[in-house]
Structure 1
């Protein structure tokens, strides 16, 4: 798993990106710039686009990194939110903030064909997974839309579903930013897992950092990263 570090602050943020995101993508950089401007050192993790084992390929590399930190703040987006929910944490974790966590398949993926395909022991990306700018967020760059995965491997969906089915209890100190009408992940599942006082809704796509509403919410995101759900 690839990690890229930004900034030189004393307080570290571990940022686990979503499936397909790269640290260099414009929207991700927009958010990283806001975090480094606030004085943080950001360690951004880019998830592999194809896996066969959630714990070994997604969870273990991040777990190994945070286990070596004296203190840190955790930020995650989408599939990264699935990883962040599963991390074994202790008192070194200061806050945990989720952006559009993938805790449940969108209604469009909850059908017999997807369920059957996810059972195939195939690690080659063969299942259509193309996303549009409207789905990602209206500020998504041409470069990101072009680089976004067009296909997903059955093993990736299998491992994501398995991780979703074994989510640890929600920590009521955590903050969640989400789109109730998210076109990619399940908004209702996020609401089922998150108390109303711990969540903030936004509009325009799946990615807050590419949403036209991002400037309206960045101060709240920074406050949540700093102080947790109590800042909402």
Structure 2
């Protein structure tokens, strides 16, 4: 895990990135800059692309950083949302498209590959051009790993299978068109009144609706679930 600090606001946000995200990516940095402009000090955690022990390689280093910096809020995206769910923290959490379940149905070949006792990168990672969002850049697409190891998928599946209960002070943002993570797994864990839908791909910050959606994200970071006033909120209705 690597951590990079941005801004010098009085309130601190621990922002755990998703798989393949980098702080220098244009769209990631756009979101970080929005947070800094809102007055936060932002501690950005970049996760390893590959691993075979989720607790030791992902959760524990993040927990150590959390304990050393005492953030006021936790923001996370995708795989970072799986890490955040396992943290021991009283800080409110905002999840962006968390990877709480696998997307799609796995066929016999995929199940066979995942069962292989190896950490070699042997499983191709299929990715549609617009899966992340219509604003995704060539750089971030090129930086994303194109192969994944069975050992990584197994340790992720194990972490998904023992997720702690959803906290009442948490809010989830997701798109029903997300084909990267299992949207059904999000729906099974997050109640409707704690869910905000946006129009776009897996990364709201790489989607054309991001200017509207970020207003919701900032409102929820500032006020918690009290910022939501309906059973399900969408990016079409930004807060006043």
Task: Please state which band the TM-score falls in when normalised by the shorter chain.
Answer: over 0.9
* TM-score w.r.t. length of structure 1: 0.94
Preserved contact between residue 133 and residue 207 of structure 2 (Cα < 8 Å): yes
* TM-score w.r.t. length of structure 2: 0.91
Shift of 1:170: 0.4
Distance 2:74 2:129 in 1: 27
Matches within 5 A, 1:91-170: 93=91, 95-108=92-105, 110-170=106-166
What per-residue deviation string (whole Å, max 9, x for no partner) do you get for residues 23-67 of structure 1?
111110010000000111111111101101000000000001111
| Residue in structure 2 matched with residue 24 of structure 1 by the alignment | 24
Preserved contact between residue 104 and residue 182 of structure 2 (Cα < 8 Å): yes
Shift of 1:68: 2.2
Relative to structure 1, is the Cα distance of residues 201 and 120 closer, same or farther in structure 2, using a 3 angstrom cutoff?
same
Preserved contact between residue 13 and residue 71 of structure 2 (Cα < 8 Å): no
Preserved contact between residue 180 and residue 188 of structure 1 (Cα < 8 Å): no
Distance 2:79 2:99 in 1: 5
Preserved contact between residue 16 and residue 81 of structure 1 (Cα < 8 Å): yes
| Residue in structure 2 matched with residue 183 of structure 1 by the alignment | 179
Mapped pair 1:44 → 2:41: no
Q: How many residues align?
A: 228
Unpaired stretches in structure 2, ≥5 consecutive residues: 229-240
Shift of 1:152: 0.8
| Residue in structure 2 matched with residue 74 of structure 1 by the alignment | 74
CA RMSD of aligned residues (A): 1.2
Distance 1:152 1:231 in 2: 38
| Residue in structure 1 matched with residue 84 of structure 2 by the alignment | 84
Distance 1:130 1:70 in 2: 37
Which of 200, 215, 218 matches 2:211? 215
Distance 1:100 1:57 in 2: 21
SS of 1:43's partner is strand
4+ residue runs of structure 1 moved beyond 6 angstroms? none
| Residue in structure 1 matched with residue 237 of structure 2 by the alignment | none
What per-residue deviation string (whole Å, max 9, x for no partner) do you get for residues 159-210 of structure 1?
1100000000001210100011211111111111111010011122100110
- Return 97-106 or 129-138, whichever deviates more: 129-138
- Return 116-125 or 35-44, whichever deviates more: 116-125
Unpaired stretches in structure 1, ≥5 consecutive residues: none
Preserved contact between residue 130 and residue 148 of structure 1 (Cα < 8 Å): no
Which of 198, 221, 230 matches 2:226? 230
